C-alpha cells in the first residue's frame, strides 16, 4: 500500500528524524547538525531564528494552555541556543465555530507569558477554516533572538568533550502526563501539572555565571532519551546516565507504572539539558537550584569517550542498559 503520514512521524523520535531527512532536509538545503534555532550572521550582528507549531489536545490542561505553550516553546528554542529572545510572530489557524472566549483566554496567556519572558509579539496572522478542517486551534510561533558570538558553540555542542557533566533542571514527564490526564479525563488524586515555562532568565543566569557551558537543548517531544541520543550522535561520544539522579515525581512514576510508559521518553515543556565542563558542575547546579525553575536540578551523568555513540543507563538497581531513541509514541500496554 502507499505510504501515508502516521502519527508516529510526529512523535519526535526516530521516525520524525527520518521524515525530516527524507522530505525536508535535502530539499531545503538545511545545514547539519540540525539545531533548535538557525544562527544568522549579517554585518556584525548574530541573530537566531526559530519556528514551531503547536497542536495540543486538549487546548487547556493543568499548568497551561496552547497559548502559553506557543510562547514558552519558542522562547526556549531561542534561549537554549544561547540567545536572548526578543521578538515573536504568531499565526493562528482557527476552526469555524471555535468559542471566542476561549480564544481570548488563550491570547491573554500568550500576552502574559510574553511579558514574563521579556519578548514582544510583533506580527501575526489569522486564518479560519471550515469546521472539521482543523482541530479547534493550531498556533505557529516564530522567534528572533540576539546571540553573543561567544556562545555560538552551544547549539551545536562542538566543544563537548569526555568528562563533561550533564545537568537537568528538574523532574521529567510532568507535561506529557498532565496533558494525557486532561485528554482522558483521568482524575488523578494527586494532580500532575505541566512544567510549561519560559526558561530564558534561568538560562541567562547560568550563562552569565559560567563560561563552561558546552551545550544546551530543551527536552520536549521524544523526552530526555531523544535529546541524549541526538547529542551523542552530534558529538561522536557516548553518554552515561545514572537513573537514580534523574528526577521523576511520584505521581508521574505511578502513572507510568500503570500505563507501561517510560518517563525518560515523555514530553516536557520547561526542561533543559545542560552540558558543563568537568569541575564546574556544582557551581552551575547551585545557580540552577537558586531559581524556582531549577529547584530540583540534578547532575545526571557524563560524556564518555565511546566511539559507538551509545547512551548507557546505570539502572537504579545497579544494572546497565542502553537508552535508545524512541520509535513513535509510546503505546499504553495491554496488561
Partner 1 sequence: MKYIDEFRNKDLVMNLADLINKTVTRDYTFMEVCGGHTAAIHRFGIPSLLPDNIRLISGPGCPVCVTGTDFIDKAITYSKMNEVILTTFGDLLRVPGSASSLEKEKAAGADIRVVLSGLEVLEIARMNPESLVIFLGIGFETTAPGTAVTIKQAEKQNINNFFLLSAHKIMPPAMEAIIKEGVNLDGFICPGHVATITGSSIFDFIPERFNLGCVVTGFEPVDILQSILMLIRQVNQNNSKVEIEYNRAVTVKGNSIAQRLLSEVFEPYDATWRGFGVIPLSGLTLKKDFEKFNIEKKMPLKINSQEDNDLCICGKILRGLETPADCPLFAEICFPENPVGACMVSNEGTCNNWYKFRFIK
Question: From the list 1, 42, 130, 189, which residue makes contact with partner 1 (rule: CB under 8 A)?
Answer: 1
The reply on whether position 321 binds partner 1 by CB under 8 A is: yes
Q: How far is the CB of 8 from partner 1 (least distance, A)?
A: 7
Q: Which stretch binds partner 1 (CB under 8 A): 4-12, 37-45, 129-137, 273-281?
A: 4-12
Select from 4, 27, 42, 44 the one that contacts partner 1 (CB under 8 A). Answer: 4
Instruction: For residue 31, give the C-alpha cell.
Output: 545545514
Q: Does 259 bind partner 1 (CB under 8 A)?
A: yes
Q: Which residues of 66-98 are buried (b: 16+ CB within 10 A; e: fewer)?
A: bbbbbbbbbbbbbbbbbbbbbbbbbbbbbbeeb
- Applying CB under 8 A, which of residues 26, 97, 260, 305 lies at the interface with partner 1? 260
**DSSP SS3 for 160:** coil
Subset of residues 7 to 26 that bind partner 1, contact rule: CB under 8 A? 7-8, 14-15, 18
What are the distances in angstroms from CA 323 to CA 150, 231, 247, 310? 32, 13, 16, 8
Binding mask 170-189 for partner 1 (x = CB under 8 A): --------------x-----
CB nearer partner 1, residue 100 or residue 334 = 334
For residue 128, what are the contacts with CB-CB under 8 A and spacing of at least 6?
93, 94, 95, 96
- In this structure, the strands spanning 213-218 and 272-276 are antiparallel
Query: Does residue 64 come out as left (phi exceeding 0), alpha (psi in the -120 to 50 range) or beta?
Result: left
- Taking CB under 8 A as the rule, does residue 5 contact partner 1? yes
The Cα 112–Cα 110 span in angstroms is 5
Phi, psi of 312 (to 5 degrees): -110, 135
Q: Does 286 bind partner 1 (CB under 8 A)?
A: no
- Residue among 25, 254, 283, 291 that touches partner 1 (CB under 8 A): 254
Compare residues 14 and 136 and give the one whose CB is closer to partner 1.
Answer: 14
Residues that bind partner 1 (CB under 8 A): 1-2, 4-8, 14-15, 18, 184, 244, 250, 253-254, 257, 259-260, 262, 312-313, 315-322, 324, 327-328, 330-335
Amino acid at each position: 500500500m502507499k505510504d501515508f503520514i502516521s502519527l508516529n512521524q510526529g512523535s519526535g523520535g526516530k521516525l520524525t528524524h527520518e521524515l525530516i531527512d527524507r522530505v525536508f532536509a535535502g530539499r531545503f538545503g538545511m545545514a547539519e547538525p540540525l539545531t533548535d534555532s538557525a544562527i544568522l550572521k549579517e554585518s556584525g550582528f548574530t541573530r537566531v531564528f526559530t519556528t514551531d507549531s503547536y497542536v495540543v489536545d486538549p487546548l487547556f490542561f493543568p499548568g497551561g494552555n496552547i497559548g502559553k505553550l506557543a510562547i514558552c516553546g519558542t522562547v526556549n528554542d531561542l534561549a537554549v541556543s544561547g540567545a536572548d529572545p526578543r521578538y515573536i510572530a504568531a499565526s493562528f489557524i482557527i476552526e469555524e465555530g471555535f468559542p471566542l472566549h476561549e480564544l481570548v483566554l488563550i491570547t491573554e496567556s500568550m500576552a502574559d507569558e510574553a511579558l514574563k519572558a521579556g519578548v514582544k509579539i510583533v506580527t501575526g496572522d489569522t486564518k479560519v477554516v471550515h469546521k472539521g478542517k482543523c482541530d479547534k486551534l493550531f498556533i505557529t510561533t516564530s522567534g528572533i533572538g540576539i546571540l553573543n558570538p561567544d556562545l555560538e558553540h552551544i547549539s551545536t555542542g562542538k566543544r563537548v568533550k569526555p568528562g563533561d557533566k550533564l545537568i537537568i533542571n528538574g523532574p521529567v514527564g510532568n507535561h506529557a502526563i498532565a496533558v494525557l490526564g486532561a485528554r482522558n479525563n483521568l482524575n488523578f488524586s494527586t494532580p500532575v501539572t505541566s512544567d510549561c515555562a519560559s526558561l530564558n532568565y534561568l538560562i541567562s543566569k547560568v550563562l552569565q555565571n559560567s563560561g563552561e557551558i558546552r551545550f544546551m537543548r530543551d527536552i520536549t517531544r521524544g523526552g530526555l532519551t531523544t535529546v541524549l541520543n541526538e547529542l551523542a550522535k552530534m558529538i561522536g561520544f557516548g553518554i552515561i546516565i545514572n537513573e537514580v539522579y534523574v528526577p521523576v515525581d511520584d505521581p508521574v512514576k505511578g502513572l507510568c507504572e500503570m500505563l507501561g510508559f517510560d518517563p525518560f521518553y515523555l514530553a516536557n515543556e520547561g526542561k533543559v539539558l545542560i552540558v558543563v565542563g568537568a569541575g564546574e558542575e556544582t557551581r552551575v547546579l547551585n545557580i540552577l537550584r537558586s531559581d524556582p525553575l531549577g529547584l530540583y536540578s540534578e547532575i545526571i551523568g557524563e560524556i564518555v569517550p565511546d566511539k559507538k555513540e551509545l547512551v548507557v543507563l546505570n539502572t537504579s538497581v545497579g544494572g546497565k542498559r542502553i537508552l535508545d531513541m524512541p520509535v513513535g509514541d509510546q503505546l499504553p500496554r495491554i496488561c
